A and B are shown apart, each in its own frame.
Chain A
Amino acid sequence: MKTLLAGAAIALMGLTQTATADGHANYPERPIMMMVSYGAGGATDFQARIVTMTAGNEDALGMPVAIINKPGAGGRVGWNWLAGQAEADGYTLGAYNVPHFIAQSIKGGVEYSTESFEPIANWGADPAVLVVGADSAFNTLQDVVDFAKANPGKLTTSGAGLFVGHHIAALQMEKAGDMKMAYIPTKGGGAAAMKAVIAGDVMAGINNLSDAFRAASAGNVKILAVADLERNEFLPDVPTMMESGLAVDNASVNFRGVMVPKGTPQGIIDKLAATVPMMFENKRVAGKMKAGGSPMHIMNRDEVLAMWAAREETLKELLAGL
């Protein structure tokens, strides 16, 4: 038994040595796992499955990517797992949602920060939009701002929770317009927040552009403004908040992308950073994403590193008073 164990140990050591010796040229040698910290069927899960569906192609990674869901506590459960328990061997990737995980790490109570992860590439950007019910008296952002200024704290506005993009957008609107809104976080994500707007439980809502676009094409809501730097291709007629006179930048845009836990070998990070953005550019991927109403925004590793750093700074300032 002892010799057997020793033999196995030597064999294992041999395996790991070959892996490091060749500078990870053969990576990946087996299927890769990608953790999504939201439930199956949600927007992040759905998009993660689409953008990784061509991973097995020879011009991409050459190995399939399997999605594994670890939902709970607004994503904290999954990201805690990725930071603390996942193996940093390059076979465990994770999907990130910015500003969610950065805002959560600033507020505390979690085991991760931007320092715990290494970004690989960004695939999507879903801006927050301001929506009101189809029969609402508000027709422009100005109407909403006027009401909020005249009635401080009376404008009930739903969103998917605290310290997610929707909440950040609401905080930015309050700061930019020097007004007070009543932000109502809902349990059950963006879908529940949208239901509250359609049913008239609240006067307005902040929601994902992709979900709002669907609800608006079904005639259930009006989209008044986009919280981004420029207008979105899905909604060319809807002005940005800046155009309407409210100084709200793109800090609330929900960026989605791929990252790995800190400690993953640099060779693997470099290889992933080179291949993954190309994988996102695949025509089939783009077609499916557009059909589903999910805006794409591909960024490479360096751009994401810069974006994370910029977000962290804005969010620290914004959340300091809370």
Chain B
Amino acid sequence: MEFIYYFGDVFTPINFGLLLLGTIGGLILGATPGLSPTMAVALLIPFTFQLEAAQGLILLGAAYTSTVAGGAVSAILLKIPGAPANIATTLDGHAMALKGEGAKALQLSFLSSAVGGVFGVLLLIFLTPVLAQWALAFGPSHLFWLAILGVTVIGSLDSKSVVKGLLSGCIGLWLATIGFDDIMGAQRFIFHPSLGGGINIIAALIGLFAIPQVITMFAKGRKNDGAEAIQVQKHPIKGAISELFRYKRAVGIGTITGSIIGLIPGVGGQIAGLVAYDQSKKFSPDRDKFGTGHPEGLIAAESANNAMVGPSLVPLLTLSIPGSPTAAVLLGGLLIHGIFPGTDLFDNHPDVAWTFINSMLIGQILMCIFGLYVAGMAARVAQVPQSMMAAIVLGLAVFGSYSVQSSMGDVYVMASLGVMMYFLERFGFSAAPLVLGLILGPIAESNFIQGSMIATATDGLAPYFLTGTLNLFLIAVVILSILYSGYMELRTKRYTSKEEIMA
């Protein structure tokens, strides 16, 4: 209960001002296609050098929280996820926007973000020591099986046909092998210097989602007079709250999945939303409506990606291991003031630790309030004529992919993947499984290599990967997931018709 004593510190004028600044700035940065949470936090590093330890962390924490939630704005209105965390949001969120429910989708996304986010921070406050053990429990073999579990989702994600879903997943897995392999240092498929570092996930995201949209918008703009602009109906906030209560199951699944997956160093943030989306789809009686603008999918995805924020800081705050690039920046913010995460932080600098954690709790609520305000303005964004919107998005896409690593190579990668995706979409392939392949490929590969090196030095491959409670549990879930997909496929007897292939 120690944390309650430090709530007052959050509301000192400077601290609260920074919290507001971080939250509003974060929402704007997050809503801009191409600016990821990591980028936003990295931009703030120089400022944290000048601020007090607690103040710097408040600014960084607020920006982290609200960029994750702000990414939903471009995901819903433009179908461009700002970061991997928002991929699942595009699936139903953008479909809702197309039906004229953009405002409702935004309200739901911010409300569920706040619910998930508050739960995640509460976990961080009360269960940190237990969670730290959990985070350590995942060794290479477990992460490998977790990635395989993700692969089993690929086929059914946002595709009319399982075969096409698997094919685009394979393209993603192949793209993931490009570049210098980080473990062995081998060079693979580097036919241009821009590819030396591999395909950057943010550049790929922008290309795969934004460029097909831009091309489609330009194509439409030639044909008619802009009547195609998305209509946004006004939607009362009260309605959104009661809607949220109606979909308690989706909120619960999203929040819990997000919290658990968020804990795992290096994996969590990117796939929490997608796994939560898939789980709530499997448990929902309305699973056929997923992908057509069903609020449940949106709620699960958004509550998951904010629930992950709190637990994702557990490895950093307790073990001093930054589990993500964002956490690494937070670590820098602490070290510059001579504070070491771990027992030192909580024993000797409780004011810093608890003020920071409390500010994240309050930041979640502020983020929700400002987010709902933004949702009200969504109509205006959507009124921008498509031809103009296409130009703006294209500009942001180039800027966003360049700024990730200040590299023109990433812009070329973004553009080529985008044009490829435009044509793939014509043939019924979709971007989400492709990106999932791109994310999961390196996780599965590096953990398999590492695990097999450890295994050959100790007990051998089979005992290392196939025994142990956690391994067996994950393998069981993988098998169940495959069986379930197969069963659903047979039960609905949905064969891909020739028209669907041609469509």
Separation in Å of the A52 CB from the closest CB of chain B? 11
Q: Is residue B137 contacting chain A, with contact meaning CB distance below 8 A?
A: yes
A72 engages B179 (CB within 8 Å) = yes
Q: Is residue B180 contacting chain A, with contact meaning CB distance below 8 A?
A: yes
Interface range for A = 35 or more
Q: CA A81 – CA B265 in complex, angstroms?
A: 30
A186 engages B196 (CB within 8 Å) = no
A288 engages B336 (CB within 8 Å) = yes
Q: CA A169 – CA B84 in complex, angstroms?
A: 37
Q: Is residue B319 contacting chain A, with contact meaning CB distance below 8 A?
A: yes
Residues in B neighbouring A21, C-beta threshold 8 A: none
Restricting to B255-279, which residues have a CB under 8 Å from any CB of A?
A: 265-266
A202 engages B405 (CB within 8 Å) = no
The stretch of B87-95, B153-161, B452-460 that contacts the partner chain: B452-460
**A188 nearest in chain B by CB position:** B266
B42 engages A73 (CB within 8 Å) = no
Which of A40, A41, A161 counts the most B-chain CB atoms under 10 A from its CB?
Answer: A41
Separation in Å of the B186 CB from the closest CB of chain A? 9
Given A40-B42, A71-B197, A218-B343, residue A195 in contact with residue B321 (CB < 8 A)? yes
**A180 nearest in chain B by CB position:** B457
Given A218-B319, A219-B343, residue A72 in contact with residue B335 (CB < 8 A)? no
A84 engages B193 (CB within 8 Å) = yes
The stretch of A42-50, A114-122, A258-266, A306-314 that contacts the partner chain: A42-50
Q: Is residue A316 contacting chain B, with contact meaning CB distance below 8 A?
A: no
B140 engages A218 (CB within 8 Å) = no
Binding site of A, secondary structure by majority: helix, strand, loop or mixed? mixed
Given A191-B322, A292-B338, residue A107 in contact with residue B197 (CB < 8 A)? no
B197, B321, B323, B458: the one contacting A154 at CB < 8 Å is B458
A163 engages B45 (CB within 8 Å) = no
Q: Is residue A140 contacting chain B, with contact meaning CB distance below 8 A?
A: no
Residues in A neighbouring B325, C-beta threshold 8 A: 39-41
A155, A184, A293: the one contacting B450 at CB < 8 Å is A184
Separation in Å of the A180 CB from the closest CB of chain B? 10
Q: Is residue B315 contacting chain A, with contact meaning CB distance below 8 A?
A: yes
Q: Is residue B502 contacting chain A, with contact meaning CB distance below 8 A?
A: no
Given A42-B328, A84-B193, residue A68 in contact with residue B453 (CB < 8 A)? no
A198 engages B136 (CB within 8 Å) = yes
**A163 nearest in chain B by CB position:** B185
> Which of B's residues lie within 8 Å of A, judged by CB?
38, 41-42, 45-46, 49, 136-137, 139-140, 179-180, 182-185, 187, 193, 196-198, 200, 265-266, 315, 319-323, 325-326, 328-332, 335-338, 340-344, 405-407, 442, 446, 450, 453-454, 456-458
> Which of A's residues lie within 8 Å of B, judged by CB?
39-42, 45-46, 49-50, 53, 68-74, 76-77, 80-81, 84, 104, 107, 109, 111, 153-156, 161-163, 182, 184-188, 191-192, 194-196, 198-202, 211, 214-215, 217-220, 288, 290-293
List 21 contacting pairs A-B, 8 Å CB cutoff, sorted by A: A39-B325, A39-B328, A40-B42, A41-B326, A41-B328, A46-B332, A53-B49, A69-B405, A71-B405, A77-B196, A111-B193, A156-B457, A161-B182, A163-B185, A182-B453, A186-B446, A186-B450, A214-B320, A214-B342, A218-B343, A218-B344
